[in-house]
Homo-oligomer: A and B are copies of this chain.
Amino acid sequence: MKAVGVVVEYNPFHNGHFYHISQSKSKSNADVVIAVMSGHFLQRGEPALVDKWHRTKMALQNGVDIVIELPYAFCTGHATFFAEGSIQLLEAVGCANFAFGSEEGSIDPFINTFTLLKTNEERYNALIKQYVTTGISYPQSLYKAYEELRQKEINQTIDLSKPNNILGYHYIEAAKRLNLRIEPMTIPRIQAGFHDDINSDSTIASATGIRKAIFEGQSLQEIEQFVPNESFKLLEDWHKQYNTFMHWETFWPYLRFAILRNTPEQLTRFADVSEGIEFALIKAAKKSSSFSQFMNLIKSKRYTWTRLQRMVTHIFTGITKEQLHNSANPSYIRLLGMTKNGQAYLSQHKKQFQLPLISRVASTKDPMLLLDIRATEMFALGVELSSGRQIALDYQTPPIRL
């Protein structure tokens, strides 16, 4: 059986995801779609709206055959690390292809961009340095250096100001750097921009737009048209049971407690906290009665919103630099769920998998898996704090079968 891989967060699963899965499957002539999905904390440094079991169900109901978990160590990392972990896992489960959505829409310009930057590495780095010294921010300097190189290039290259192109480039780069056999493909994104608000004339909206509508809108019905029926039903069920969707505001009392329980020096034990930001974090936490107030106090030119959110994710989960850096490459394939079709694929191929397949989390000493379990426990405490109700924990939950 042939498999195509996708890298996803499904926060929440929407019609655009459905489109991406069906396109990926048909264009790659695959028999099964395997999704590597972030657990309870996402790449932007945020808790997921609903737990990973609900998001796994959404995926399996809409075309994904196998969901495996992207370990915490990768799903809360910067894009390079996130991409490396994801692509390695897709290779490890034997995917022939991986398919990512992009604004660009065809794969050659990605490869051309990789070749351009690789063959001009020295010049590229010199240009970046030059821009940085003029006082431009590092991401802006990267972009300007790239644009300068790109002007003289005959082959078509990608526009690296587009967020999905950037992420796609990281996948390509990871696959090339790690010499993986898995073949990249890209599917053009349709209609909705990455950060666009929802638009009632369409059935496609970005996950960011949908989340915004969920938290700012009057009722859940506002997003119904943008998500498959089964996903909407699962979101409704979650809301009935837990009374809210999860975001930093619901976790704020715990996050604040976790920050203020430390001296500035102790705070630097946690992953990504350094360079003096610890003083600002404590000062802001003292003054703030909400997460948004807190973020507005700590944001600055130097730190992107995402970087700050990843920092506080690690403080919230209590994961230290030492713990996070124990983790280099994925050491297991954690199965969150499968369809019958997915099960057939696993039976046929699992002996060739490059990493152990974990269906049940019994007592483990794998430091990377312990982080995933911790992340679930902390997410669960946050849910319990705001709703008084419990979610499924890793030890208790076998893979979802559909």
Contacts and interface: CB of A to CB of B under 8 A. Distances in A.
Interface residues of A, number: 22
A45 interface: no
A370 B253 CA distance: 22
A317 interface: yes
B254 A257 contact: yes
A384 B385 CA distance: 14
A246 to B, nearest CB: 15
A342 to B, nearest CB: 31
A261 B258 contact: yes
A5 B384 CA distance: 47
B318 A378 contact: no
A298 B31 CA distance: 52
Interface string A246-288: 0000000110111011110010000000000000000000100
Contacts of A257: 254, 257-258, 378, 381, 385
A318 B381 contact: no
A159 interface: no
A381 B254 CA distance: 10
A377 interface: yes
B385 A260 contact: no
Contacts of A384: 253
A327 to B, nearest CB: 14
Contacts of A317: 261
Given A253-B385, A385-B253, A260 B370 contact: no
Given A253-B381, A257-B385, A263-B323, 9 more contacts: A254-B257, A256-B381, A257-B378, A257-B381, A258-B261, A260-B378, A261-B318, A262-B318, A286-B377
Contacts of A263: 323, 370
Contacts of A261: 258, 317-318, 374, 378
Centre residue among A261, A318, A370 by max chain B CB count within 10 A: A261
Contacts of A260: 377-378, 381
Interface string A310-348: 000000011010010000000000000000000000000
